[in-house]
């Protein structure tokens, strides 16, 4: 069955079944088609069914047993692995967290007690990890609150990047559940299950982050490096201007604010003995800050501990030193390159350009063959990382970031006083070293 829902379908789908109404007709074939469509759209892997079970550890209901077994049988025809587990065993699925493609977890809620059990199981569960499909199989009694249509607070620990579809009992509308601030649940009518053809009809053509385009004034705790703030509203120094402009655009467009809670003296180093980070990295990893207002280099080691946005600057790492044989002006300052003949400065091209006005001598440089990617940093698994990357990508596509690079960083040519010696490899200097070694041996 072809589903027009696919481009807009979220990754969590909750199903509540009314076991008291034995005449409910549930088309398992259509249900499996939905799972397959969501799986293709989000490149999900296995399908996991979860349910409350009973005191003996069984399914506890014949309808639930039939739904899971029949769905698993049909999915096996497509070579899809399936599993089922009780709510209390849900955490066992985390053994594959960040190691496999998103699984699809189908949540079956036969009654209100099951809803409460599932809420308890999700208190410490990373709800942005799987693709959820949740079914409410019951209708609230008279005088009982309808938690499916009107959830209270945020009982399921939903986040901004949680992707969840909820189908209420005796209802044809699929609703998307997520939370902006972690305190309340936002509901969006995403699609409708057609009665005539048993298919989903999309109620919107907006993408995920076009539907969720407002952070509603969320305050992120920020840490920065002393004297190198990239936020122009707080400081307007050096190459930080581009970062500051992009941050101002993001905070305005996405509607969030940054509150500086600490200032560190360095970006951060890893202490092997204590197994801990210092500086800005230490504040982010420890959870004392959500966002780093600093031009952080992306490394494979740092990625294990924090989230990075898309790179804002990609620049070559270069080794600069005073041109041999030329007497530069002796000066004092934080850039000592021109003062000492045997001193080299290893940095990126963009940072060299940022401090070019302080250089009072002719310099040369050698390419190292390394590339540095500079990006913004957030806590690991931050729910807003994907949202920020989505809008940064838009800024790339519409030319805003390219324009800022031209304005603040990029130079069409290097200054005349900079001489380029090119990339030097060991094989290039081997003959010279051999001759020098032979000469030393003769003397």
Give, for all 443 residues of the chain, the pLDDT tens digit: 333 333 333 344 444 444 444 344 567 887 888 788 778 767 778 899 999 876 555 556 677 888 889 999 999 999 999 988 889 888 887 877 767 778 889 999 988 999 999 999 999 899 998 989 898 988 888 777 899 999 999 999 999 999 998 989 888 888 999 999 999 999 999 888 765 555 667 888 898 999 999 999 999 999 998 865 444 443 444 456 778 888 999 999 999 999 999 999 999 999 999 999 999 999 999 999 999 988 888 999 999 999 999 998 888 888 877 766 544 333 333 357 677 667 777 777 777 776 676 677 777 778 878 888 889 999 999 999 999 999 999 999 998 888 877 776 544 334 444 454 555 555 555 555 565 555 555 55
Give the model's pLDDT for residue 29.
82
* Alpha helices by DSSP H, 308-362: 349-354
What tokens were used for 325? Answer: 């044989």
> How far is it, in rounded angstroms, from Cα 269 to Cα 341?
29
Q: Which two tokens stand for residue 24?
A: 């409910």
Q: Where in the chain is the domain with CATH 3.40.190.10?
A: 219-326+335-416
Q: Which two tokens stand for residue 39?
A: 């799986």
Instruction: Write down the pLDDT at residue 291.
Output: 96
Instruction: Calculate ∠ Cα 204-44-168, nearest 5°.
Output: 50
Main-chain phi, psi angles of 320, to 5 degrees: -105, 145
Return d(Cα 188, Cα 204) in angstroms, integer: 10
Give the SS3 label for residue 70: helix
Residue 151: the pLDDT is 93
**DSSP for residue 123:** T
For 231, the token pair is: 């936020």
Q: Which of 336, 330, 404, 337 is nearest to 364 (CA)?
A: 337
The three-class DSSP label of residue 225 is strand
Distance from C-alpha of 261 to C-alpha of 283, rounded to nearest angstrom: 10
- 82 vs 151, 325, 336, 432, 436, CA distance in Å? 29, 72, 63, 65, 69
Hey, what CATH topology would domain 28-211 get? Rossmann fold (3.40.50)
Name the pTM for this structure: 0.79
Task: List every span in the chain annotated with CATH 3.40.50.2300.
Answer: 28-211
Q: How many CB atoms lie within 10 A of CB 3?
A: 20
Q: CB-based contacts of 263: which residues, under 8 Å, 6+ apart?
A: 223, 224, 225, 226
Helical H runs in 190-321?
208-211, 240-254, 279-285
Do 12 and 131 touch, CB atoms closer than 8 A?
Answer: yes
CATH of 219-326+335-416, one of 3.40.190.10, 3.10.20.30, 3.90.105.10, 2.40.110.10: 3.40.190.10
Burial of residue 47 (CB within 10 Å: 0-12, 13-18, 19+) is buried
- Residue-level pLDDT at 411: 47
Ramachandran quadrant class, 366 (left: phi over 0; alpha: psi -120 to 50; beta: rest): beta
- The pair phi, psi for residue 95, each rounded to 5°, is -65, -20
The H or E element spanning position 437 is helix 426-442
Res 11: pLDDT = 42
* Euclidean distance between CA atoms 252 and 213, whole angstroms: 11
Q: Which of 30, 35, 39, 298 is nearest to 172 (CA)?
A: 30
For the CA atoms of 264, 269, 271, 276, what is the dihedral angle to 10 degrees? 60
> pLDDT value at position 23?
41
Please return the burial class of 434, using the count of CB atoms within 10 Å of its CB with bins 0-12, 13-18 and 19+. exposed
């Amino acid at each position: 069955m072809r589903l027009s829902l696919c481009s807009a379908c979220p990754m969590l789908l909750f199903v509540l079944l009314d076991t008291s109404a034995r005449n409910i007709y549930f088309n398992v074939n259509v249900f499996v088609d939905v799972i397959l469509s969501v799986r293709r759209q989000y490149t999900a892997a296995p399908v996991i069914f979860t349910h409350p079970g009973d005191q003996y550890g069984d399914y506890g209901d014949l309808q639930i047993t039939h739904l899971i077994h029949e769905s698993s049988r049909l999915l096996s025809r497509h070579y899809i692995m399936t599993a089922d587990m009780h709510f209390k065993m849900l955490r066992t699925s985390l053994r594959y967290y960040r190691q496999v493609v998103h699984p699809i977890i189908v949540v079956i809620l036969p009654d209100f007690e099951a809803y409460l059990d599932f809420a308890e199981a999700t208190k410490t569960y990373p709800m942005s990890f799987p693709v959820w499909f949740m079914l409410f199989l019951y209708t609230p009694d008279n005088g009982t609150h309808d938690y499916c249509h009107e959830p209270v607070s945020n009982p399921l620990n939903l986040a901004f990047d949680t992707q969840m579809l909820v189908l209420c009992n005796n209802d044809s509308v699929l609703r998307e559940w997520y939370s902006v601030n972690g305190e309340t649940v936002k509901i969006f009518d995403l699609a409708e299950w057609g009665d005539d053809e048993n298919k989903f009809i999309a109620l919107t053509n907006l993408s995920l982050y076009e539907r969720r385009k407002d952070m509603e004034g969320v305050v992120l705790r920020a840490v920065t490096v002393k004297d190198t703030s990239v936020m122009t509203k707080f400081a307007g120094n050096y190459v930080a201007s581009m970062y500051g402009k992009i941050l101002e655009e993001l905070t305005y467009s996405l509607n969030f604010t940054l509150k500086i809670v600490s200032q560190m003296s360095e970006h951060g180093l890893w202490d092997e003995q204590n197994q801990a980070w210092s500086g800005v990295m230490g504040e982010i990893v420890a959870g004392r800050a959500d966002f780093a207002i600093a031009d952080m280099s992306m490394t494979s080691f740092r990625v294990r501990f924090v989230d990075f946005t898309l790179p804002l600057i990609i620049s070559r790492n270069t080794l600069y030193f005073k041109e041999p044989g030329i007497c530069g002006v002796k000066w004092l300052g934080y850039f000592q390159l021109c003062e000492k003949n045997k001193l080299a400065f290893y940095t990126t091209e963009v940072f060299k350009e940022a401090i070019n006005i302080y250089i009072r001598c002719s310099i040369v440089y050698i390419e190292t063959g390394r590339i540095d990617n500079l990006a913004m940093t957030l806590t690991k698994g931050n729910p807003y990382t994907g949202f920020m990357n989505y809008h940064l990508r838009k800024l790339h596509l519409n030319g805003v970031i390219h324009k800022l690079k031209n304005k603040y960083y990029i130079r069409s040519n290097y200054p005349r006083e900079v001489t380029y010696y090119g990339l030097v490899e060991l094989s290039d200097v081997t003959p010279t070293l051999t001759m020098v070694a032979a000469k030393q041996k003769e003397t």
